[in-house]
Amino acid sequence: MDLQKRSMITSEAIYRELCRKIENLEYMPGNAISENELCTQYETSRHVVRGAIAMLKQRRLLEVYPQRGSFVSLIDMGYVSDIVYMREAIEQEAVLRILEEDKAVDRVCEKMADCIERQIEYQGETILEDEFHRLDTEFHEYILEAAGKKDIMKMMDESYIHFRRWRNLELRSVITVDQLIDQHREIVKHLKERDRQALRKSIHAHIDKMDFLPESGEPSKNEYFYKRG
């Protein structure tokens, strides 16, 4: 890389790429992250790389140990569970606000139904593609937008990466696109019907994936990727 290109790389750019790789398990929980290797890979200075590492540490994606190095954080299921609980609580409150205005219900259901139609292209997939995830995010943004709280999704994304990392580790080969689309349809159906109890249950089933965890006492095949204690 020439000096001009080298000077263009930023800590933010490296940070964003490493976030993507950690989320998609290109770097597994517990993997070492070498400053020297990153400097070589991105042809940049240690100062720039350390800036990216500091941001990852702040986001709880890296653990830095003096004299040992930097390691991708193990998955903390207590933290993941709290994130999911907060996400569900936000959406449950959002749909209650939407139900207070009939016109808002009709508008958001129309947008969500259109989004589902675009999701159908990915039916039959087991490994969830990035484009489907974008459409899934869009589906949920319509709910928060209709409740006047769209920016909350961006705020949640900072922590929700920990859920997505766990999902990619444990659920990627278990949950199919077809199942998620069916759950989206259930949410729209119950919202149209103004059925609060059924809507609450369908949102819970869709967001809270903790039921996929092994039962108490049953070891996970991925146990070494989890934080203990």
The domain spans of the chain are 3-72, 77-212
Question: Is 139:115 a contact under the CB 8 Å cutoff?
Answer: yes
- Segments of the chain assigned E as strands: 32-33, 62-65, 69-72
Q: Model-level pTM? A: 0.83
Class of domain 3-72: mainly alpha
d(CA 202, CA 41): 45
Class of domain 77-212: mainly alpha
How much is the pLDDT for 216? 47
Which residues does the chain have with pLDDT short of 50? 1-4, 214, 216-217
Question: Cα angle vertex 160, ends 175, 41, to 5°?
Answer: 95
